[in-house]
Structure 1
């Protein structure tokens, strides 16, 4: 799948995360294809000097938002890929609830992103590489297992794990 076009005409201070107009994908192959798109967003983030994490939010088999990390670009520590696509999808759909939507992300979400996933009531979370240091789904605080968690999505780990992990390893190796 080709890399999606970069956002155009968005001022640096504008909310990131962009609606996407990719064709609907259905069936078992869709899981891989949506993760492939998230991996493309992660590669785009790396090309911008950002930590290579990409996310795609899908509703009814259609990509609603896709983006990669933009914390440096926006000078915003909350501009993680997951946060950006959740914000963009909520704006595009006109709702703070994304209960019929699925999130594909290349790295296990951190506590902040796990909280946003819960509050948005996302139906399913698919993630690539686990994050032993900063993850909050299957590592660390295990946010969705917390008694204070209001909603836990179905979680599918390890989708695209190898390429997602390689992107991260290459990125950090090149910076050392």
Structure 2
């Protein structure tokens, strides 16, 4: 059974907290930076088990490499720089729920919880509502691609900000 955001109940381990929201706000800032740089509005953070931001990035796909998602860059960085235990206890915060490529990378390197401001189901609905296709890859929730990864989101407080960024990108704002 799916919830309204497209994530099955087995994928949501806890609600988004105020601490989570602080990190998610930075993700939305990074998404805005990406959009201002002519890129798609996505931003992400890797926060270690002690609450320290270890890595952050934004989308960088505008030059033609569609794999330059911040969540994928986080997985690469973590694999090279963190022990398996550090990866497992880290949290990835992101403005938008991982795509299947990023969900798989996250699981393969053994990262911990994912917290997102907006869900993949929301993004698809927004795009279709504005008359655009859903995108070139199926919008599968994290728990479908990486069933062992705990997730929290979307955040009802920040999802509307993310929606506005996507509307601006598509010229429907």
Same fold (TM over 0.5): yes
Counterpart residue number, 1:64:
54
- Find the residue that maps to 1:88 and give its secondary structure: helix
Counterpart residue number, 2:34:
45
User: Within 1, Cα distance between the matches of 2:140 and 2:32?
Assistant: 28
Equivalent in 81, 97, 100 of residue 108 of structure 1: 97
Counterparts of residues 9-24 of structure 1 (less than 5 Å):
none
Deviations 1:4-41 (A, max 9, x none): xxxxxxxxxxxxxxxxxxxxxxxx43211100111111
User: Within 2, Cα distance between the matches of 1:156 and 1:123?
Assistant: 12
TM-align CA RMSD: 2.7
Contact in 1 for aligned 2:97/2:141 (Cα 8 Å): no
Q: Give the direction of change, closer, same or farther, for the CA distance of 1:107–1:142 in structure 2 (3 Å limit).
A: closer
User: Within 1, Cα distance between the matches of 2:62 and 2:139?
Assistant: 25
Counterparts of residues 18-33 of structure 1 (less than 5 Å):
28-33=17-22
Matched, 1:130 2:126: no
Give the number of the structure whose residues are more often helix, by fraction. 2
Q: Give the direction of change, closer, same or farther, for the CA distance of 1:118–1:45 in structure 2 (3 Å limit).
A: same
Using the TM superposition, name which of 125-134 and 50-59 deviates more. Answer: 125-134
Matched, 1:144 2:143: yes
Q: Give the direction of change, closer, same or farther, for the CA distance of 1:37–1:98 in structure 2 (3 Å limit).
A: same
Per the normalisation by structure 2, the TM-score is 0.70
Give the number of the structure whose residues are more often strand, by fraction. 1
Per the normalisation by structure 1, the TM-score is 0.69
Unaligned stretches of 5+ residues in structure 2: 1-16, 125-133
Matched, 1:168 2:166: yes
> Which structure has the higher relative contact order (CA within 8 Å, separation 6+)?
2
Unaligned stretches of 5+ residues in structure 1: 1-27
Counterpart residue number, 2:110:
121
Q: Give the direction of change, closer, same or farther, for the CA distance of 1:134–1:113 in structure 2 (3 Å limit).
A: farther
Instruction: Give the number of aligned pairs.
Output: 142
- Find the residue that maps to 1:78 and give its secondary structure: coil
